[in-house]
Structure 1
Amino acid sequence: MMKYLQRMGKSLMLPVAVLPAAAILMGIGYWIDHEGWGGGNPVAAFFISAGKSILDNLPVLFAVGLAFGMSKVKDGAAALSGLVAYLVVTTLLSTDTVAMLKGIDVEAVSPAFEKIGNAFIGIISGLVASNMYNRFSKVQLPDALAFFSGKRLVPIMTAVSMIVVSVILFFVWPVVYTGLVSFGEAISKLGPVGAGIYGFFNRLLIPTGLHHALNSVFWFDVAGIDDIRNFWASKGTKGITGMYQAGFFPVMMFGLPAAALAMYHTAKTKQKKQVAALMLAAGFAAFFTGVTEPIEFAFMFAAPALYLVHAFLTGLSLTIAALFHWTAGFGFSAGFIDFFLSLKIPIANKPYMLIVQGLVFAVIYYFLFRFIIVKFNLATPGRGDDDELDAGGAENAIDGKSKFARMAAKIYEGLGGDANVTSVDNCITRLRVEVKDMKAVDQNKIKSTGVPGIKIVGPNSIQVIVGTSVQFVADEVEKIRNNN
Structure 2
Amino acid sequence: MKHFLQKLGKSLLIPIAALPAAGLLLRLSAVDMLDIPLFQASGVILNNMDILIAIGIAMGLANTKDKGIPALTGFLAVSVLQEGLGILNQNLDMSVFGGVVAGLVAAFIYNRFHQTRLPSMFAFFGGEKFPITMIILVMIPIAGLFSVVWPYAQSGIDAFSQMLVGLGAFGIFVFGFFNRFLLPFGLHHVMNTYVYFGLGRFETASRETVTGEITRFLNGDPAAGYFLGGFFVTMMFGIPAIALAITRAARTKKKETKALMSSGAATSLITGITEPIEFTFLFTSPLLYFLHSVYTGLAGMVLYLLGIRHGFSWGAGAIDYALNLNLSDRGLLLIPVGLAFFVLYYVTFYLVITKRNVPVIGREQDAEAPAKSEPGTMHSGYETIAANILQHIGGRENVIACDNCMTRLRMKLTDTSLADETKLKQAGAHGVIKIGRHDIQIVIGPGAAHVKRELENIIERES
Interval of TM-score (by shorter of Structure 1 and Structure 2): 0.5 to 0.7
Query: Which residue of 288, 302, 319 corresponds with 1:320?
Result: 302
Corresponding residue to 1:355 among 335, 340, 343: 335
Aligned match of 2:135: 158
Distance 1:127 1:359 in 2: 43
**Counterparts in 2 of 1:142 and 1:469: CA distance versus 1, 3 Å:** same
Gap regions ≥5 residues in structure 2: 180-187, 204-220, 247-255, 314-319, 353-357, 360-373, 376-380, 389-394, 416-433, 443-450
> How far apart in 1 are the matches of 2:101 and 2:274?
21
Measured at CA, do residues 18 and 362 of structure 1 come closer, stay the same or move farther in structure 2, by a change above 3 Å? farther
Q: What is aligned with 1:149? A: 126
For 1:123 and 1:246, locate their aligned partners in 2 and report how far apart those are by CA, in whole Å: 24
Q: 1:393 to 1:184 in 2, by over 3 A?
A: closer
Match of 1:98 in 2: 88
- Taking a change above 3 Å as real, the CA distance of residues 318 and 168 of structure 1, as seen in their structure-2 partners, is farther
- Distance apart, 1:424 and its partner CA: 6.1
Q: 1:48 to 1:285 in 2, by over 3 A?
A: farther
**Alpha carbons of structure 1 residues 9 and 337: separation in structure 2 relative to 1, 3 Å:** same
Partner of 1:121: 98
Structure 1 unmatched ranges of 5 or more: 100-105, 218-240, 287-293, 376-381, 384-388, 397-410, 416-420, 436-456
Q: Equivalent residue for 2:446?
A: none
Measured against aligned partners, the alpha-carbon deviations of 1:70-104 in whole angstroms (never above 9, x if no partner) come to 222122212211211221222222xx4233xxxxx
Measured after TM superposition, the shift of residue 165 of structure 1 is 3.7
Partner of 1:254: 233
- Structure 1 CA distance, aligned partners of 2:61 and 2:225? 38
Distance change >3 Å, CA 359–CA 55, structure 1 → 2 = farther
1:7 aligns with 2:7: yes
8 Å CA contact retained: 1:259, 1:369: no
Which residue identity lines up with residue 149 of structure 1 in the other structure?
A: G
Question: How much does 1:392 deviate?
Answer: 2.4
Pairing 1:179–2:169 present: no
1:427 aligns with 2:412: no
Measure, in 1, the Cα distance between the counterparts of 2:80 and 2:266.
36
Question: Contact 1:430–1:467 (CA<8 Å) still a contact in 2?
Answer: no
- Asked whether the equivalents of residues 164 and 171 of structure 2 are also in contact (C-alpha less than 8 Å), the reply is yes
> Do residues 67 (structure 1) and 44 (structure 2) align?
no
- The answer to whether the 8 A contact 2:25-2:39 is kept is yes
SS of the equivalent of 1:469 reads helix
Counterpart-to-counterpart distance in 1, 2:236 and 2:269: 4
Residue in 2 that maps onto 1:469: 454
- Deviation string 1:212-257 (CA, Å, 9 cap, x unpaired) is 453559xxxxxxxxxxxxxxxxxxxxxxx97x55745641422245
Do the aligned partners of residues 318 and 430 (structure 1) sit closer, same or farther apart at CA in structure 2, a change above 3 Å counting? closer
Cα 1:168–1:27 shift into 2, 3 Å: same
TM-score (norm. length: structure 1): 0.52
- Tell me by how many angstroms 1:161 deviates: 3.5
Q: Aligned in 2, Cα 1:153/1:367: closer, same or farther, shift over 3 Å?
A: farther
Shift of 1:153: 0.7
Give the alignment partner of residue 75 of structure 2, picking from 77, 83, 106.
83
Q: Per-residue deviation at 1:132?
A: 2.1
1:262 positional shift: 9.8
Letter in 2 for 1:48: Q
Between Structure 1 and Structure 2, whose CA radius of gyration is higher?
A: 1
Task: Give the AA of the match of 1:55.
Answer: L
Task: Report Cα offsets for 1:263-305 as digits up to 9, x if no partner.
Answer: 9999xx9xx99xx89x97886466xxxxxxx889xx9xxx9x9
Matched residue, 2:200: 214
- Code of the aligned partner of 1:98: L
Contact 2:58 2:107 in 1 (8 A): yes
Letter paired with 1:427: D
Residues 114, 131 of structure 2: 8 Å contact kept: yes
1:122 CA displacement: 2.4
The answer to whether the Cα contact below 8 Å between 1:196 and 1:314 also exists between their aligned partners in 2 is: no
Pairwise CA distance, 1:136: 1.4
The one-letter amino acid paired with 1:142 is P
Identity %: 26
**TM-score of the aligned structures, taking structure 2 as reference length:** 0.54
- The residue number in structure 1 matching 2:370 is none
CA contact (8 A) 1:197 1:315 kept: no
Q: Give aligned pairs, total.
A: 342
How far has the Cα of 1:462 moved from its partner?
A: 11
Q: 1:166 Cα shift? A: 2.8
Cα deviation, residue 151, structure 1: 0.3
Cα distance change of structure 1 residues 71 and 156 upon mapping to structure 2, 3 Å threshold: same
